[in-house]
Amino acid sequence: MPARYLVTSALPYANGPIHFGHLAGAYLNADIFVRYKRLTGAEVLFVCGTDEHGAPILVNAEKEGAHPRDYTDRWHQAIKQSFERVDIAFDHFSRTSRPVHYELTQHFFRRLVERGAITTRVDDQVYCEVCKRELPDRFVVGTCPKCDFDAARGDECPRCAAAFDATELKAPRCKTCGTNASKRPSKHWYLDLPALRPELEAWLEARFPAWKPNVVGEVKKYLADLKPRPITRDLQWGVPVPLEEAKDRVFYVWFDAPIGYISSTREWAAQQGKPDDEWERWWKDPGTQLVHFIGKDNIAFHAVIFPSMLLGQREGYVLPDVPANEFLNLEGQKFSTSGGWFIAIDDFVDRFPADTLRWTLTRSAPETRDSDFTYKDFQTRVNAELLGTFGNFASRVLKFVQARHQGAVPAAQADPGEPERRALEALRAGVAAAAAELDRYSTRGAAERVLEVGYAANKLIEERQPFKLINTDPAAAATTINVAVRLLEGLAVLLFPFVPGTATRLWAQLGLEGDPTRRRWQDAAEPADPAGRAIGALDQHLFQRVEDKTVEAEVARLRAGATPPPEKAAAPPAAPAKAEAPAAAGKPPISFDAFAALDLRVAKVVSAEAVPKADKLLRLELELAGGERRTVLSGIRAWYPPEALVGRQVVYLANLEPKKIRGVVSQGMVLAANDVGDVAVLLQPERGVPDGARVS
RNA sequence: GGCGACGUAGCUCAGUCGGUUAGAGCGGCGGCUUCAUAAGCCGUAGGUCGGCGGUUCAAGUCCGCCCGUCGCUACCA
């Protein structure tokens, strides 16, 4: 076992709130691991920070009329606070917008160039003279090279469905400012992953046996098609490329972001007043085990790309373990901050103790596959596990000490009985088993081992029934209670990484000084004899019951809050109330004439069939007045089997310009409402009306 | 349609390198108990480990096909 651990959690993107899914995937497990390792006496550093570059932040900041700096300031604060509220105890939480990070990123680049791990390539790019930037495909419009349609997009033509490169467009224009754009050759820099492949693979092959199958699979997939990756782009927001010929360029956000782990470490060292080379102890000493806790979407970056960057430095950087988690769902559906399908952490912690959230998310963590958070599950974990097993055991033992032993732990007989020996053995086994789980990064498995100690502890009371035994054999009853108090102390230490606040309160109830970090993890297996010690105040239960009606209310709140409009949920909590949103629907007002321009009709579906090679598409034949037929494509296959549609009426936009999709011309569109989770719900007249009837 | 995953008791899930009668919690049912937050403990539920075929002395655990679910992606006017 290494004696030093450098632990990182994925840098959250400063573009939205963190939610349960993030916590369960990369933060809670890291925090638990860190607390555990500290208890074992290892030297541990836990760093993180916000990732603040990239186009999405720039775009969203612009949308608000804010400088990206101010925009990320707000999100950085909001995210940091959320972590604090669930006791994620980073040693340092930095930001990738700090000067130290700029310097280090540029240094990384220079080293990679020196080591021959950077290549360049020159390609034509569409460039806008007015905006003074190269245009990504989706910011270009122009004339289709195939059919001369004059409003073709940068990647394809909406009329003839041809796909092409933006540079192939005739007369390309900038979508933002509308002026003509030009083509010009443009040089970009690439991280030469194939050049680093031999060292990379040698390291990976050695680590694979210890890694989770989902991580290994993902990495192998990536290695199978390993190509140089562009690391520069033409953007105003990011770390500048330190070359005269690239002074209008910044690094791709994925390039600078992981370097944030290192810059965060350096910033921490500086703030602690440590020597200048302190950070190198953490990053370059082979005695350090680096661990990246991330979600599965980040595997390639942390297991392939960033290690390649580290190897490419040739400075002896240590390489990581990558215990990636899968995704957490919410009540059976994907989290969606834009769709409102998420639970804000601050909101939740306002109503329930952080420890109950920590425990539930740990017990349901998506370690081997996607898992689900439900309020029902939350209730069970709180009531049955935290309260029923741990809280109850503490309560029944300590209240007994208080009532029957005047608040001082009674002495044990020299030779405790068999049930006591078994219970203490269960504690010892739990300490070892939980450690083994944690050493392989399974916080979920470890929590289960701790729970088993709780089961064994309650069994001891059942077997001995000290509340009866005290009348016939007081010394034996006292022994049981004495042992039970030892079990509580052991449990307090074992529980500390998972529910630090509660474990600390239990510590006080046990009449102990400070908190469980006074002990070593290993000591939890052999608590000292507590005989004679006065227990603390029992004024408060360790956990409160979660009632059925509370669960129902929370689920209702969640569903109510999930109603789209999409944008509203993503507003940063700290954002000043913005100018009135343009109506609830989020679109600017239109004139009546604009509305009247729509030819909306009721139509009857006369036939419906799936479109080949398209999962979502249905081809509908609609009938209007006088038997007029129209063919329409609609992406509702997932929710409406074709046969269920025939004969019913729908609302139909008749004068939408036709578009060819999958070889079929669609003449207009069928209207549907968007339910939670993007489910389409067809509109239909309240009662039958003649086919072709106008809608106004 | 392409790529990737997954499909174990009513529910949520464990099942490392293939090897004795396939597990836990919750729920249900039946008991016990009253120290404890109506908490706890015991027993029970007898599930073709999605289906078919294959490899093997032996497969939930490896391979192929099929069915189903999900994610990413294309399409969703």
| Nucleic strand B within 7 A of Cβ A297 | no
Angle at A23 between CA A254 and CA A59, to 5 degrees: 40
- Could you tell me if the ipTM is greater than 0.90? no
Alpha-helical (H) ranges within A392-538 are 392-404, 418-439, 443-464, 466-472, 474-495, 500-509
What band does A268 get if pLDDT is binned at 50, 70 and 90?
Answer: very high
A441-476 as b/e: b if 16+ CB within 10 A: bbbbbbbbbbbbbbebbbebbeebebeebbeeeeeb
Mean pLDDT of A428-451: 90
Instruction: Provide the CA A480 to C1' B33 distance, Å, integer.
Output: 17
Q: Which positions 349-388 on chain A have a beta carbon less than 7 angstroms from any atom of strand B?
A: 364, 367-372, 377, 380, 383-385, 387-388
What's the mean pLDDT when you consider all of chain A?
A: 86
pLDDT band at A233 (very low <50, low <70, confident <90, very high): confident
Whose CA is closest to A106, among A246, A241, A305? A241
Residue A168 pLDDT exceeds 80? no
Could you check: is the Cβ of residue A440 within 7 Å of any atom of nucleic acid strand B?
no
Which 530-549 residues of chain A approach strand B with CB closer than 7 Å?
541-545
pLDDT at residue A298 is higher than 70: yes
| Choice among A417-421, A524-528, A637-641 with the minimum mean pLDDT | A637-641
Task: Give pLDDT tens digits for A560-596.
Answer: 776 443 223 333 333 322 222 223 334 667 878 788 8
Strand B interface, A 644-663, C-beta < 7 A: 656-659, 661-662
| Separation of alpha carbons A547 and A383, rounded Å | 9
The gap between the terminal CA atoms of chain A, to the nearest Å, is: 73
Q: What is the pLDDT of residues A319-333, one digit of tens each?
A: 999 888 888 888 877
Mean pLDDT of A341-355: 90
Q: What is the pLDDT of residue A127?
A: 80
Q: A455 CA to B38 C1', in Å? A: 19
Confidence of residue A646 (pLDDT cuts 50, 70, 90): confident
pLDDT-derived band of residue A383, with 50, 70 and 90 as boundaries? very high
Q: What is the pLDDT of residues A53-76, one digit of tens each?
A: 988 888 888 888 999 999 999 999
Name the band, by pLDDT with cuts 50, 70 and 90, for residue A142.
confident
Confidence at residue A419, expressed as pLDDT on a 0 to 100 scale = 93
Q: Tens digits of per-residue pLDDT, A520-552?
A: 999 999 999 999 999 999 989 999 999 988 998
pLDDT in tens, A91-121: 999 999 999 999 999 999 999 999 999 999 8
Which nucleotides in chain B lie less than 7 Å from some protein C-beta? 1-2, 4-7, 12-15, 17, 25-27, 33-37, 39-42, 70-77
Highest mean pLDDT of the ranges A77-81, A205-209, A214-218: A77-81
Q: How many Å apart are A551 CA and B28 C1'? A: 21
- A615: three-class secondary structure by DSSP: coil
Q: Which nucleotide is nearest to A669 (CA to C1')?
A: B77
- Decide: residue A64, CB within 10 A, 0-12 exposed, 13-18 middle, 19+ buried: middle
User: Within 7 Å: CB of A468 and strand B?
Assistant: yes
